[in-house]
Amino acid sequence: MKVQALLLLLVAGCAARPAPARPAAPHRAPAAAAPKPVAAPEPVAVVAPAPEAPPPPSGDAEFVPTAADQVFAQRVIAFVDEMAAVMDRHKDDCGRMVDDLELLVQRNQDLLLIGKQMKDNPPRLRWLEKQVESRLQAAMPRFMAGFQTCQNDARMMALFRKLGS
């Protein structure tokens, strides 16, 4: 986590524009008279350039995940793993499976809400899908065992309709 934050700071620092160079003073020929004392130059305020605004998200933009996005992806992976474990563990008892899945969904309401909001940010959603794709595919056989047993269970179908909305 600290490494990611450090890399983010380094990238932001490297992307900043350098301050414009001041033009050199014109060369003067030496005067015959005695030199007059030169006043100290006035201090010059150094102003950092304003950061460029990020482009609005579009379908073709490359998404750069934040540390919070990385944490979110790890939580989604843990959610998928726990859901697969519940479905595998209770594949012969639909009532217990649905009870445990409902508890899992209730504990992760914030996760589900953030996931639904991702529909408005296609690059972020594609990034998340890439992060969880292999874990989801590995969990699929465990999901299917529970689905096959409980595909006609009314509570199970209601739960999955709720998740899909």
Residue 120 counted as domain residue: yes
pLDDT of amino acid 118: 86
Residue 20 lies in a domain: no
Q: What is the rounded CA–CA span in Å between residue 34 and residue 36? A: 6
Domain range enclosing 72:
67-164
pLDDT for residue 35 is more than 50: yes
In a domain, 17, yes or no: no
In a domain, 34, yes or no: no
CA distances from 102 to 28, 82, 113 (A): 84, 12, 15
pLDDT digits (tens, 9 = 90+) for 91-104: 889 999 999 999 99
| 156 part of a folded domain | yes
- Average confidence (pLDDT) over 68-93: 93
Do the domain assignments include residue 78?
Answer: yes
pLDDT digits (tens, 9 = 90+) for 107-119: 999 998 888 888 8
Q: What pLDDT, on the 0 to 100 scale, is given for residue 139?
A: 93
**Residue 32 resides in a domain:** no
Instruction: Indicate the number of domains in the chain.
Output: 1
Q: Which of 122, 91, 113, 105 is nearest to 158 (CA)?
A: 105
Residue 7 belongs to some domain of the structure: no
Residue-averaged pLDDT of the chain: 73
